[in-house]
Structure 1
Amino acid sequence: MNAPFDQLFTWLKDHKITEVECVVSDLTGIARGKIAPTNKFLQERGMRLPESVLLQTVTGDFVDDDIYYDLLDPADIDMVCKPVSDAVYVIPWAIEPTAIVIHDTFDKFGNPIELSPRNVLKKVLQLYTDKGWKPIVAPEMEFYLTQRCEDPDLPLKAPLGRSGRAESGRQSFSIDAANEFDPLFEDVYDWCELQGLDLDTLIHEDGPAQMEINFRHGDALDLADQITVFKRTLREAALKHNVTATFMAKPIGDEPGSAMHLHQSVVDIATGQPIFANADGSMSELFRQHIGGLQKYIPKVLPMFAPNVNSFRRFLPDTSAPVNVEWGEENRTVGLRVPTSGPESMRVENRLPGADANPYLAIAASLLCGYLGMVEQVEPSAAVEGRAYERRNLRLPITIEEALTQMEECTTVAEYLGAKFVRGYVAVKRAEHENFKRVISSWEREFLLLSV
């Protein structure tokens, strides 16, 4: 055994784990993999999966054959999946002692699989390492609790809380409204503590039974793993309490959407000191360039923040989500907010990613944009003071078709993330959108059936 696998072996034995869920993330963020008895897992030291699972859409379909066979071996060969020794988590809700082990993916020659979201994030982090930098992130996850509903044609409704009543009106930051679901969140916090997830605060957001859980700042790859596990943990806790938890970007019409806000900063590896602030506490030139890079390249990677047609409903007019890459200090109407902080905590909050985004890809895209700004020395626009919702100069694509075209045509994104990844990701999202366009909506039936 090698040292990392020795560490994993010891952890599984110490926790008396009898079953292992071996998982990788597909492009959507769905966990794909196999479930194995611990002894078999330790014997095989990983698993093999068809590489084609990485070109599977959220509906379970695949991209067109010409793209499929151009990006993948025609024989539909397996990729080699190796366990990550420090990405292992207990499953508290399982009947038998069970663990999730996240895997990295390689081809038969040991090269990282380009289509793997976790590998995409690792590629971006290596860019920082090569410059002597380490990014620090702090994600904020918004989500809705809803009544369970078997009919997808019916609108979602707020669930009943401990009082036996559903919320009415806006309950932003209400302690009482959050306490309506205390039993559920007690399970969430207990389970996350057992899993070693770095949760921080719980906040009631604007929408009915819309909540936000913040993560403590830390390593980008570790937090992407944690968000992946957290989303499943929350869903399981919700099911236990007979409600549904959803990370859809816009699950309820006329209510605010759900975001995955990303706070990001950078430290110097050699000194451990932040590089976004000068000695006097003012913003450093690198910080300004980081913001400039976000402004320049976010429109080119927007599908990694807004991956579904539903994602763009969050960007509709008169919503609380910014649809721009303006920046400003303590301004929630801009896409890039700089919170008030001391020099050691100088950071930018990217408010554009939706809660439905794959955490590996959203974090990778956000950090890449900032990195490119620093290496290209991109100057940002002037900071916005006051309301920015109506500003037009730095607005984003408003449809997924337009966003995918911009991503596909950006040679810089392909250079840094890999042409194969960009082509595969765009193809999957286009296949999903084609599937969506075949569905006749209730709006069409209501207003067109007897009127046209």
Structure 2
Amino acid sequence: MTRGPFGYSIARSVAHRELFGEILALCEKSRIPLSGLHFETGPGVIEASLRHCDALEAADRAIIFKSMIKAWAQTRGMMATFMAKVSENWPGQSGHIHVSMSADGQNVFYDSEAFRNVSKLMRQFIGGQLKYMNDFCVLAVPNFNSYKRLVPGCWAPIYPSWGIDNRSCAVRVIPGDPSAHRLEYRLPGADLNPYLALACAIGSGILGIETNAALPASIVGDASAEACLPSGRLPQSLAEATYRFAQSPAANDVFGERFVEAFSCSRRWEWEAVQHRVTDFERRRYFEII
């Protein structure tokens, strides 16, 4: 549909206005309203922003949206994919989650007296997300291909980090008035299971509140260059992430030993299913020269 870096391109959106109109109408009829729909960076990449709602309903909408779009695309002779990384030449496809928290109708992440309006509760919440991000990572990054997205320079996190409106961080604080002040959890890819990714984002944040988790300094600039971050680099493979999750006391406490064991078993099976496959790249690289 597009060939090149046409992120936020008005020209491309207008050129495909009929297609975009069908998607918007389909979502409205399915009660999955969108806040935005536009082309992103990379050939054929489209970003759809699902309108905010409560967490469980948000997960329901995301699952239905992905299934519905894949079926709809086939009726148009196209293929829709939610792989995290389809080409090494372009950034991956993300599944960012925007989170806010309310009590008594008030946004408790917002504090008009605090720096950039980031409340103490929000600091604790983000502190928990960062503290447990390595251990819980596999919930948000669940597939073999997922980890090929987490590379420097591609708008995906490398370390558990946070910053004010910093898209290179794992957690991006988006300051605004009380109705819009929130965080963006940028760890998951488009291949996420939305229920598990939300459980990861919210569960780690709640742990942070319960334990008064400390919040490290925010990152200004490219977070992928911050090799000295105390939490260390995010897991670099499905095998590493699965091992950390299975061995994590916090994961067992939050999600239950039965789930941790079952999900870890499924991820080990997924790793083995892909790990022993010989790829075209390996044949091109080694067949003649080795």
**TM-score by structure 2 length?**
0.94
In structure 2, what residue type is equivalent to 1:284? S
Taking the TM superposition and a 5 Å limit, the aligned residue runs for 1:3-402 are 159=1, 167-268=2-103, 271-280=104-113, 282-392=117-227, 393=229, 394=231, 395-402=233-240
Deviation at 1:193, TM superposition (A): 1.1
Q: Please give the per-residue CA displacement for 1:362-389, whole angstroms capped at 9, x wherever unaligned.
A: 0111000110000110011011112212
For residues 184 and 289 of structure 2, what CA distance do their matches in structure 1 show?
Answer: 46
Give the structure 2 partner of residue 445 of structure 1. Answer: 283
Q: Please give the per-residue CA displacement for 1:64-119, whole angstroms capped at 9, x wherever unaligned.
A: xxxxxxxxxxxxxxxxxxxxxxxxxxxxxxxxxxxxxxxxxxxxxxxxxxxxxxxx
For residues 197 and 342 of structure 1, what CA distance do their matches in structure 2 show?
Answer: 25
Are the equivalent residues in 2 in contact too, given 1:184–1:237 (CA < 8 A)? no
Identity %: 33
Q: Secondary structure at the match of 2:163?
A: strand
For residues 28 and 153 of structure 2, what CA distance do their matches in structure 1 show?
Answer: 38
Which structure's residues are more often strand, by fraction?
Answer: 1
For residues 127 and 255 of structure 2, what CA distance do their matches in structure 1 show?
Answer: 19
Q: Secondary structure at the match of 1:403?
A: helix
Q: Secondary structure at the match of 2:85?
A: coil
Q: Secondary structure at the match of 2:93?
A: coil
Give the structure 2 partner of residue 52 of structure 1. Answer: none
Give the structure 2 partner of residue 421 of structure 1. Answer: 259
Q: Secondary structure at the match of 2:225?
A: coil
Deviation at 1:274, TM superposition (A): 1.3
- Greater shift in the superposed pair: 392-401 or 246-255: 392-401
Give the structure 1 partner of residue 274 of structure 2. Answer: 436
In structure 2, what residue type is equivalent to 1:306? V
Are the equivalent residues in 2 in contact too, given 1:293–1:370 (CA < 8 A)? yes
Are the equivalent residues in 2 in contact too, given 1:277–1:344 (CA < 8 A)? no
Q: Secondary structure at the match of 1:230?
A: helix
- Greater shift in the superposed pair: 285-294 or 170-179: 170-179
Residue 247 of structure 2 corresponds to residue 409 of structure 1: yes
Q: Secondary structure at the match of 2:87?
A: coil
For residues 222 and 189 of structure 2, what CA distance do their matches in structure 1 show?
Answer: 21
Deviation at 1:340, TM superposition (A): 2.5
Structure with the greater alpha carbon radius of gyration: 1
In structure 2, what residue type is equivalent to 1:360? Y
Deviation at 1:279, TM superposition (A): 4.4
Q: How many residues align?
A: 285
Q: Secondary structure at the match of 1:434?
A: helix
Consecutive unaligned residues in structure 2, runs of 5 or more: none
For residues 306 and 265 of structure 1, what CA distance do their matches in structure 2 show?
Answer: 21
**TM-score by structure 1 length?**
0.61
For residues 429 and 178 of structure 1, what CA distance do their matches in structure 2 show?
Answer: 38
- Greater shift in the superposed pair: 278-287 or 209-218: 278-287
- Greater shift in the superposed pair: 315-324 or 406-415: 315-324
Which structure's residues are more often helix, by fraction?
Answer: 2
In structure 1, what residue type is equivalent to 2:12? A
Are the equivalent residues in 2 in contact too, given 1:322–1:333 (CA < 8 A)? yes
Q: Please give the per-residue CA displacement for 1:388-433, whole angstroms capped at 9, x wherever unaligned.
A: 1211224211111111111011111111111111111111011011
In structure 2, what residue type is equivalent to 1:364? A
Q: Secondary structure at the match of 1:202?
A: strand
Q: Secondary structure at the match of 2:118?
A: coil
In structure 2, what residue type is equivalent to 1:320? W
Q: Secondary structure at the match of 1:337?
A: strand
Across the aligned residues of Structure 1 and Structure 2, the Cα RMSD in angstroms comes to 1.4
